[in-house]
Amino acid sequence: MNKFSGIGASGGIAIGNAAIVKEAVVSYEKKVIDNPEQEIKRLEAAFERFKEKTEKMALSIEEKVGEKEAEILRGHIAIAFDPALSDEINKLIKSGKCAEEAVDSVCEQFIAMFASIPDEMMRQRATDISDVKTRLLQILTDNEPTDISGLAPDTILVADDLTPSMTAGIDKENVLGILTKTGGKTSHSAILARALEIPAVLSAPDAVDALTDGVVVIVDGEKGEVIIDPDEQTVEKYKKLREEYIQAKKELSKFIGRKTQTADGESVMLFGNIGNPEEAKTVKSFDGEGVGLFRTEFLFMENSSAPTEEEQFEAYKAAVEALDGGSVIIRTLDVGGDKEIPYLGLEKEENPFLGYRAVRFCLNRDDIYNTQLRALLRASAYGDIKIMIPLVTCVDELLAVKEKLFTLKSELDSEGIPYNKDIEVGVMIETPAACVSADILAKEADFFSIGTNDLTQYTMAVDRGNAKVAYLYSEYNIAVLRSIKRIIECAKKEGIVCGMCGEAAADPNLIPLLISFGLDEFSVSATSILKTRKIISLWSKDDADELANKALSLTRESEISALLKANARK
């Protein structure tokens, strides 16, 4: 029996058999290129393939865990297409080097640069670029990436580093724990392990080097300890510790079946976010009261052509039936920006996040949008479906959607097809324009849902994939908090429900402020539902108001963050 220490990056205790996973070494032949333009075209095709595959992995993470975690992989797309990287690669190709050597050489320069910086965030950037490099080389050389989806039950996954692209393939039913040579608490492997609720110890090189396949290993993600080949007494000790940890989590189960309400009895709604109909069952299993966000782009990503009206109808119907009476808020197609679907023929844009995307795209593609809206209307005959419009910046967009729905309702009437004639149509508030004009939108919308991820990004003018400005991306910034407060106030004034489907809805530090502001509905990942219900139950409106007043009197993000963390109740 040997004991090692590392960084406890994801809580819990796992006991299983080591499975050592190594990223395949990609080899290639260096050769002089006679036709650089043709080689650049080959590289461009590889970049597009990389983007397509990475987006699919991001969607997998988004379905399993959440949107915030998926941004890690979408950040890899931003890295690959960063002119600072791609321009240098093209220069080397023009000088006569093959695409593989150019990618390898340029990426290694950036990796060395970031790895030499003491800051952990910068070192993580080096890991990300290394992952991007490996996958680009795999595409250029027609090599398949390491597949960890078929690991045996009771596995402790052991690797030099668990890259985000590898994590997308984890089957958490089989992988009980994670052990790596590198990585820290803020590394992407740690973030994803926590999101998947898999115990993990990182930066334990001695433990990794001491292991062979099949050896029994204990991973204590709380203390950052690793025990290799433990004796029976030690195994029994850690089994008890594991049960105690699990029991603490089970304490949350007492919130199943309880109303979601504050300490002084004020009720709110607690919903879940989903990406496909199956996840509606998961929301139900965690006692979610409905679905606050159904991201429909997954239906489009899973096909090589646009899903038919019938396919969409069946998916929306299945989701609402799974909730057994609960509301399902379905976001219409949010494509563009960081979500590209090849068959839709979207042209490349210099700044896609501010370009032709979401409702802007849909309103100009009747073939796509009318099909989706008809499917949504038809499915509304089977339960409480609500339609949510993303990226709205002016009331004209909402009115244009409502006009389309009016026409489609007339068509369904003439065809004798049933639907909910009073179906609600709401707005996802995620732009500064929507925030400023929230009082106007509230007169036309049936409900609001605040998308804090994009609202924060657009309010702060911050590219989430740019590490140099990532420090500005925070919901605790006073500008973001004031925006959230205003949106809720405008909804209240017009008597419409205001929910939140962004990551902030599950943040224990922010929940008291959302209670104070008067948020009606919290929509979170399924695994966060019970914890969110517990946190809400710990705050009275008076206590929440007191904390909110203090927070809003401060001016610096660091001060607000410190105040909220110091007063968090868990």
**Separation CA 557–CA 570 (nearest Å):** 22
Indicate if 490 belongs to the active site: no
Indicate if 76 belongs to the active site: no
Cross-strand pairs, 228: 2, 217
**Separation CA 90–CA 439 (nearest Å):** 50
Judged by phi (left if over 0) then psi (alpha if -120 to 50, else beta), residue 160 lies in alpha
DSSP string, 50-110: HHHHHHHHHHHHHHHT-HHHHHHHHHHHHHHT-HHHHHHHHHHHHTTB-HHHHHHHHHHHH
Q: How many residues does the chain have?
A: 570
188, 362, 490, 498: the catalytic one is 188
Contact 198, 176 (CB under 8 A): yes
Long-range contacts of 60-66 (CB under 8 A, 24+ apart): 60/168, 60/169, 61/164, 61/167, 61/168, 61/192, 62/275, 62/295, 62/298, 63/275, 63/276, 63/279, 63/298, 64/172, 64/196, 65/192, 65/195, 65/196, 65/525, 66/195, 66/273, 66/503, 66/525
Cross-strand pairs, 399: none
98, 107, 362, 501: the catalytic one is 501
**Separation CA 263–CA 519 (nearest Å):** 15
Contact 422, 445 (CB under 8 A): no
Nearest Cα to Cα of residue 146 among 154, 134, 155, 133: 134
Nearest Cα to Cα of residue 156 among 182, 180, 177, 131: 177
Residue type, 188: H
Active site positions, annotated: 188, 501
